[in-house]
Structure 1
């Protein structure tokens, strides 16, 4: 099992990114859709249960209200039966009294009956029959068939004073409540007659079962296989069944009749033995629910395929640039990097995501590599040329040094002290400039070069050159690129001393500033034109002469110590120029 899972995992890991993204989106959509459908089904089940609970509650309320009214009818029959006036009048009607007395008793009996009936809403008629078969009625009494009269009489006699109910039939839609009227004098319980009340069941059900019957639904009352209400129904199977499902007093089910489904809830009452049914067409209550379910399933399927298509488009948009990048890399792998073609420049409309940035970075890398190759190639050529020229220049340094020593010796022999000093200084300068052993020297050694250079220039300019040096001994041990100060003195002599008739002061000072050493070369000459100076520093114009330029000195310091160091050239407020050299406090070793 572990080996199979490992193989399956390795197979997925080695899939292409496009396939991985497609698989991820598909699995995500499938899981989310399954969870949503399960939740939807649970919601529908809860909705079904709510429908049943609501239907059952309404049906229970309606049946309770109807039976409460029937209890009122039962109490009414008891009140009429036990009414002393009615019993006295019936005794008179059953005796051999004169016709006049009997007519009076008859009128009073009917009046008393009318008083009872007029206060009742659902009693359509009332009828009292004495033992001689004479009838005394009130209300809208319908004509009954002999069979129904006989059934009512049998029910009344069978009750022997208790209430009996006769369900409606096809000719008479009234519910009949009947009971014997017995004499209560001395508890002799002698039969005086029969009471029959006609209950308007349609009116009662319409009043109290309005909540249970929807526009397309139907309330059905069945008693022992006999339809009580309404007069006719389409659900014949409900009438013919002996009892509701099982032995439960309430419940619900779905029945099919004539190809149509019905949602049927029922409740059984022990008071009259009636079973109340609330039938609702399944299509009516579940139409919107079924429609919504189908729409949601269709929406899930459509969104699934749309998201899968969108995922494939996203995967292609991610992998296509990567595949192009891989193709270019393979081309560079087997080709010439220097002469290889660059990937096309990314259009402005290209996506600015990680893949787009990767493409642009790759192209910039190739461009930079090609530039570095060309730059390195150019530097190698320059180095070769420099070495060749250096070899040409180094004809025989020892011969030159020996010649200068001979001139120095002859000058001393002839008492030419000034010539001797110039020859010694020139020899020192030549040895220092030709020597390639050290690129970095101490400030002390650099100042020695400066002093030998000034010795030569003092012979030339005499009193016109006033050189001053003020560098503390604590700073002279720090390192500085060789030939940094001497070119600056050469520039000061060229642009200040040579153009002035009066003495020119050149001053070199040094001081500390934080972790840096500042060396200042100042003169009181005419200064430097700002535009000309800007062109020299930017490299747009070469400095006059064959010496080392300001830009070259600045670049050497920056390459040696960093971009925060270098030189700064400015004009003094009181005349002349000032060049500030900033170097770190670095010592050899």
Structure 2
């Protein structure tokens, strides 16, 4: 057997290149086709399961949102039933009081009912009936059929004071919540009347569950074999013997209606005994898979013929890369490397075997050498231009400082002390920010920068800005990266002072902790959202403005002193933001 395999291997090895390529392509395409068909079948089953899981999640979310709103209605009915004013007025209406007293109680009862109904957007109407059969209603109360009215009364009686629900029908699309009103006086629990609330189920579904349904899907709600949402006639015909059973907690199946297939998933809720369905057109779900299957078959056929033709072309031109490489080397010997016009891309027919890779690498090497020559020449030009611009830029700051000094002198001459202080502070800030001599300065110098910045901001915000400074004297000589406190103060003004109408207190304090110095910048503003802050510190979102951000300051400190130092941002318990800067205890220099 071994000799037979060796003989077959030798025959294959001795075949012409065209035959080898044809055999390789044929076997490869056959194996790929089998793998693709098996993978496609697996993808069908996985896709079914994923759609079911997603649909189940949607139905869980939809049912939860809907029933949360119905729970609110239930709590509302209890509030109305237990309302002392409503109970007292119902007692008057059930008694033999004078007509004048009864009219007053009736008006109070209706007014109280209106107050409750106006708090809920889903209640279309409310009705209270006393023991004498008198009705007190509010809202858009529709006329009920005798059968539906009798059904509501029967469910209310069966509840005995607990809440009962009456599903919508063909004449009345509203969901009805009803319960008896019983007296809480001396806990005798005597019946005083009946409360009926009409709930707009369509509005609840459209508000909380419609957007949650999968695109192109339809949400259906069924109770005891009757569809209560929606009220479309063609969907009611969907209710037949083939519809999924409501007894199962959840599941899915593929159904057919009017010649079209549908993917239907359902989930049962024990709160009202409703079953929620999500109906998706089968063609919409699986159209992409069917299209992908057809495209795979077409791509296989086209690829087969293209690969065969390509293999034949490669076999005929197997020696062409070597000739091209030799020709390029000879041309390079008699030409200038910088000015030679060597093609940057290899021919489309070039094969990717050892010879092809050699030719391709050679071409890329020559192109890279040419690029480095041009890049070096360009960098020399940029360096010269940068030096020239640097000389020009040295003139502008001196001109700006001299101009500010002139403005300061004129302000003092004219008695404009406030303008003079602003100009002096602005000049100090400009000199400090532009100066590149020192990266590390003392806390005292940094606080002097802050004081000049506050001088300018106080002119803008006046009494709205209450700045306080409490840094011990022995900490003033400690070193700190330049422009650390000023950006934090700028953030406090932007996110606290600017958004507050009342005075905002910004305080810079300092203390010593073991071998570290802690400087604190805090305010009594509205604070900062924890998620937004986390995104800024991790770099997922840029902070507002164009200044130095929190992440930048934290990285500067960590690069200077180590990862155990940096800034910490937190919201204060009494409101506002606190930023702590932790620095090592060290002397300047």
**TM-score normalised to structure 1 length:** 0.50
**TM-score normalised to structure 2 length:** 0.50
